[in-house]
Chains A and B, each alone.
Chain A
Amino acid sequence: MVNINEFYEKNYKKLIIISYSILLLSIIIIGISYFKTGEFFERDISLKGGVGVTIYNDKINIDEVKELLKQNFKDYNVRELTDLNTNQNIGVIIEVADINEVQLKDVLKTKFDINFNNKEEYDPGLTSSSFSQSFYKGLLIALLSSFIFMSIVVFISFRTFIPSLAVISAALTDILATLAIVNLFGIKLSAAGIIAFLLVIGYSIDTDILLTTRMLKRHDAPLLERMKSSMVTGLTMTFAAIAALMTGYFIALPLELKQIFLIISIALVFDIITTYFGNAGILIHYCKKKNIT
Chain B
Amino acid sequence: MKIKNLLKFRVLFLLFWIIISIIAINPKFNAEGIAIKGVEKNSTASLAGITYNTDLAPTKLERIVAINNNEVKNVKEYADLINKINNSEILRIKTDKNEYVMIKTDDIGISVAEYPTSNLRRGLDLQGGTRVVLQPEEKLTDEETINVIRTIESRLNVYGLSDIKIKQSKDLFGENYLVAEVAGASRQEVKDLISSQGKFEAKIGNETVFTGGKKDITFVCRDDGRCSGIRQCLQPESNLYSCQFEFAIKLSPEAAKKHAEVTGKLDVNLSATGGYLSKPLDLYLDDNLVDSLQISSDLKGRETSDIAISGPGLSSTRNDAIKDATKNMNKLQTVLITGSLPVKLNIVKIDTISPSLGKAFFNNAIWVIIGAMIAVSIVIFIRYRDLKISLPVILISSSEILIILGLASLIKYNLDLAAIAGILAAVGTGVDDQIVIADEILKGKKELVSSFKEKIKRAFFVIMVAWATGLASMLPLFWAGAGLLTGFALTTILGISIGVFITRPAFAAIVEALEEN
Contact = CB atoms under 8 A, between A and B. Distances in A.
Contact of B465 (A79, A199, A209): A209
Interface string B10-44: 00000000000000000000000000000000000
Given A87-B355, A244-B376, A206 B368 contact: no
A48 to B, nearest CB: 12
Interface stretch (A16-24, A30-38, A254-262): A254-262
B475 interface: yes
Contacts of B373: 244
B87 interface: no
Contact of A233 (B191, B380, B428, B439): B439
A266 interface: no
Interface in B156-185: 171-173, 175, 177, 184-185
Interface stretch (A64-72, A101-109, A124-132, A176-184): A124-132
B339 interface: no
B368 to A, nearest CB: 5
Q: Is the interface of A mostly helix, strand, loop or mixed?
A: helix
A80 B380 CA distance: 42
A60 to B, nearest CB: 16
B421 A192 contact: yes
Interface string B419-439: 011001100110110011001
A203 B429 contact: yes
Contacts of A198: 473-474, 477
Interface residues of B, number: 79
B360 interface: yes
A18 to B, nearest CB: 25
Nearest to B488: A195
Nearest to A244: B372
A157, A209, A240, A256 — which one has the most chain B CB atoms within 10 A of its CB? A240
Contacts of B172: 137-138, 141
A292 interface: no
Interface string B372-388: 11111011100100000
A56 B473 contact: no
B424 A135 contact: no
Contact of B425 (A191, A199, A218): A199
A142 interface: yes
A162 interface: no
Contact of A139 (B128, B372, B481): B481
B214 interface: no
A213 B464 CA distance: 12
Given A149-B475, A257-B420, A84 B482 contact: no
A135 B484 contact: yes
Contacts, number: 218
Interface stretch (A6-14, A245-253, A276-284): A245-253
B187 A243 contact: no
Given A135-B482, A240-B379, A254-B361, A205 B469 contact: yes
A113 interface: no
Contacts of A237: 431-432, 435-436
Contact of A220 (B347, B436, B450): B450
B411 interface: no
Given A139-B480, A157-B468, A248 B424 contact: yes
Contacts of B1: none
A137 B173 contact: yes
A259 to B, nearest CB: 10
B294 interface: no
Contacts of B349: 126, 128, 131-132
Contacts of B185: 84
B418 interface: yes
Interface in A136-190: 137-139, 141-143, 145-147, 149-150, 152-154, 157
Contact of B449 (A146, A220, A246): A220
Contacts of B450: 220
Contact of A134 (B171, B368, B462): B171
B186 A253 contact: no
Contacts of A254: 125, 361, 364, 417
Contacts of B365: 257
Nearest to A205: B469
B428 A244 contact: yes
Contact of A82 (B356, B429, B481): B356
Interface string B440-470: 0001000101100000001001100110111
Contacts of A128: 348-349
A243 B375 contact: yes
B79 to A, nearest CB: 9
Interface in A196-222: 198-199, 201-203, 205-206, 209-210, 213, 217-218, 220
Nearest to A90: B186
Q: What 5 pairs between A and B have smallest CB-CB spacing? A: A149-B472, A131-B348, A142-B480, A138-B480, A142-B476
Given A126-B350, A203-B425, 13 more contacts: A126-B349, A131-B133, A153-B469, A195-B477, A233-B436, A236-B383, A240-B375, A240-B432, A241-B432, A244-B428, A245-B372, A254-B361, A256-B421
7 contacts: A79-B352, A83-B186, A84-B185, A149-B476, A152-B472, A203-B432, A253-B364
